[in-house]
Amino acid sequence: MALEPGVLALVLLAAVAHAGWNALVKASGERGATFSIIVITCGTIGLAGVSVTPLPDPAAWPYLILSMVVHYFYYGFLLLSYRVGDLSHVYPLARGAAPLMVALGALIFAGEALGGVAVAGLSLTSAGIMSLAFERGLPRGADTKPVLFALGTGICIAAYTVVDGLGVRASGAPLSYIFWLNVMEGVPLTLWLLARGRKSFAGLTARSWRIGVVGGVLSALAYGLVIYAMSRGGMAHVSALRETSTIFAALIGILILREASGGAGRRIAAAGLVSAGIVALQLG
pLDDT at 237 over 90: yes
pLDDT at 2 over 90: no
pLDDT classification of 138: cutoffs 50, 70, 90: low
Half-sphere exposure of 72 (CA within 13 A, CB side): 13
Report whether 129 contacts 240 (CB < 8 A).
no
- Show the domain range for 242: 5-283
The pLDDT value given to residue 65: 98
Q: What mean pLDDT comes out for the span 2-15?
A: 93
Number of domains the chain contains: 1
pLDDT classification of 41: cutoffs 50, 70, 90: very high
Report whether 33 contacts 220 (CB < 8 A).
no
pLDDT at 261 over 70: no
Cβ neighbours for 242, distance < 8 A, ≥ 6 positions apart: 11, 14, 15, 18, 226
pLDDT at 89 over 90: no
Instruction: Look up the pTM and report it.
Output: 0.89
The pLDDT value given to residue 53: 97
Q: Which amino acid is at 183?
A: V
User: Using the 8-state DSSP alphabet, how is residue 52 labeled?
Assistant: S
The pLDDT value given to residue 145: 80
pLDDT at 257 over 70: no
Q: What mean pLDDT comes out for the span 231-242?
A: 95
The pLDDT value given to residue 262: 59
Mean pLDDT over each residue of the chain, to the nearest integer: 87
pLDDT at 180 over 80: yes
What Å distances lie between residue 183 and 88, 132, 171, CA to CA? 31, 33, 16
Report whether 181 contacts 164 (CB < 8 A).
yes
